[in-house]
Each structure stands twice: as C-alpha cells, then as structure tokens.
Structure 1
C-alpha cells in the first residue's frame, strides 16, 4: 500500500484567556488504504471520519491541547476506537477544555507522547519532536518517508506560532524551532495547523536572522 497524506479543513472557534476567535483548522490523516493516524481533532469529528473513510485508525495524535486542536478528540475516539496521544506538559490546557480532577465528567487522553518517540503506521515511522513555546506540551510529527513534518501551531508559513497567550513563550518557541525543526532538510514540507504549507528551507532565513 502507498503511504499518503489526506487533507481537509474544518471551521470553528478558539477560546483562551477570555477571548474567542473564529478559526479554520487543517485536518491531517496519514496512512495507506488500510490504516491511518489522525493528527489533531478540531471542531468536527464527522469531517475527520470522512477523511479516514473505512480505514482503521491506530491513533489520534495531538500537536497540543488548545481547544481548536483537541475539542472533538474524545468524540472521535469513541467513533473510531483509537487512543488519544498527547504530551503530558499540556495537561493544564487539556483540562480547560475537557475538565480537571474536580469535574466528574472530565475526560482524559490515553497515552503520553514523549520526545523522540516513534509511532508506527502503514510501514512508516512518525517521529515525535517536543517543541514547546506555543504550548508547553506542543509537539511536531516528522515523517521521514514522506519528507514532511506536521507542526500544529509551532511553525507556519511566515514564522513561529503565536505566543501572546497563557502557557506560551516567544523565546522558547524560537529555540524549539531552531533546535528541532531547522535540523530537518530544507526540502521538508511543513504541514501546518492553520493555513498553507511551507518548507523548512523557506522558513529558515527568517528564523536564522
């Protein structure tokens, strides 16, 4: 089977620090005709399951726990029978959306992501890169066999993700990008959480400045 990336877009809201904004999020599914993983779970579980089709979902991989990336993860988990994987440093953000220890209806993710971990799908390895800054538990997913990296809100076309809200830090995100993402080949395609693709090479000049 041929490894591939399927892409869609879902619209909804992002809320943090008392502000709510309308946003469009990219949907990403990586796999072949038999099995796949889902990267992030924003807004609309049905839009994600349409991308999945009849394939077996091995995991729901979250780049971070902001509500516009994790909101429908528990619903999607129930629909496709796959575990949710999240870096544990994003627990405070997860609890803002899915409830904390004092909430009887709170929902948890299933498996902690760790830096350098490999997630297997369709004969390929997806490497976890811990890239804090936009969120403390933010990660990127590098797929060597496809020459691409899924950066969530860590790196966009035009530069780093936003760091003006709670649990974020501009110096940390820049350090993360320089140390982890700029180490990838220039031709690596960057699939972002919002907006258009870019490449590591295209973003390198601005980040090296």
Structure 2
C-alpha cells in the first residue's frame, strides 16, 4: 500500500490527487481576444479551461471549467468606492452551482504597486479564521514564469514554470504537489494571468 496523502480540497476533493500532477497551460489562439487558456495533463487531455473577457464579455470576470466544459469556479475583481480607496485589488472566487455563482470559497489580494511596497499576492480561504489573514501566497515572478504558490506554513503547493521544461508566455508547465486542489491552483493562475494583462484580459 502507498503512503496516505492528506487532501486539501478548496473547490472539490475530486480535483485533489494522491500523486504529483504535471499540468500544461496553453494560451488560446490570439484570434480569440481575451480568450483565456486551456490546461492539459501529461496525456494531452484537457482537464481545465479558463474563459476571459473576450469570451464571457465582461472585464474583471473569469470562469474556470473542468475537462467536460462545466463551469466550476466564477472569479471576479471587486469594484466600487471602497475598492478604489483600498491599497489592494481584491478578487473573489465562488463555486458555481447550476450555472450561477453560489458559495464564496476564497479571496485574493493583489497589492496596488503605487500604494504598497510589499508586493505579496495572498489568498484567504473561506471561512476566515480569527487569527489568520491569509492561507496561501504567491512568491516569485509570474510574468517570468518563475513563481510558486506556497501555504502559510511555507510548503510549496504548486510551481509555475518548471526548470528543465519548455517555458514561454503562451505555453508553460505547472506542477501541483500531492493532495492540493488543482482547480484552486488554476483559479489563482487565472487571476495572475489577468493581473499581468495576458490571455484572459481584453
């Protein structure tokens, strides 16, 4: 028998694996403006896709779909006066239920570069605990495809842009460690992609 791997589901335990997952992210053709990207496994099977504003027609909104094309995660950038005065841009991730956003499952804070010197992108999983302000953080440079998603304890959850593998703007690898939610990782990548004005942004 193999060693037991503790699962850490955020979107769903069906997206957690007992083994390391190597995912390949490929930008949709540039003819689809703001078209998003497709995520495949080692066997070139589509396991996730992300729709950007060129497809769903709304800026600051993203939809993550599973391999069958079913919407599993709706993400949007928070707006309004309170947001305008904040030192962070806030993103909210919701589970999809019968095609509609339902339960809030995570929030991501992206520091505004002109207002905040500490540029850490941090993610809080709902519901929030009383003594913690974040659960995961993104370290490194997404634009250079050299970054990682780490847990609050410092463990690497996912590595984006893996040394020794083909890496570029339109095609790169993501390695998700055993037990972690791959759909959640793809959701974080979708936000990073939008923040950096890439495939999901119109």
TM-score (norm: length of structure 2)? 0.31
Larger helix share, 1 or 2 = 1
Larger strand share, 1 or 2 = 2
TM-score (norm: length of structure 1)? 0.30
